[in-house]
Amino acid sequence: MTKQINIHEAKTHFSQLLAEVQNGMEIIIAKAGTPVARLTAIAKARTTRKAGSAKTLVSMSPDFDALLPEDVLNSFEQ
């Protein structure tokens, strides 16, 4: 939901506006009726990734880097 207010009202009721933004409201701040800024909530920070957390989920064939068969190699050249 979006609401437009003027600069004076934004300065006067800033704390209240922040509470509204936290509840999902988007506030457009206008000067003489012309929008100049948007007040929105900041997205929650992602959790940090831990190196090696997918170690047991991934597996590779022992021959993953072996040469391809001749017929497969030739198909790329056609």
Q: Is the dihedral of CA 55, 58, 62, 68 positive or negative?
A: negative
Domain count, the chain: 1
pLDDT at 54: 84
Average pLDDT (25-52) is 91
Distance between CA 13 and CA 9 in Å, rounded?
6
Angle at the Cα of 27 from the Cα atoms of 31 and 44, rounded to 5 degrees:
135
**Over 90: is that where the pLDDT of 29 sits?**
yes
pLDDT at 11: 95
The residue range of the domain holding 26 is: 2-39
pLDDT at 34: 95
Domain assignment present for residue 64? The answer is no
Domain assignment present for residue 12? The answer is yes
Average pLDDT (10-20) is 95
Is residue 78 very low, low, confident or very high in pLDDT (cuts 50, 70, 90)? low
Domain assignment present for residue 63? The answer is no
CATH number, domain at 10? 3.40.1620.10
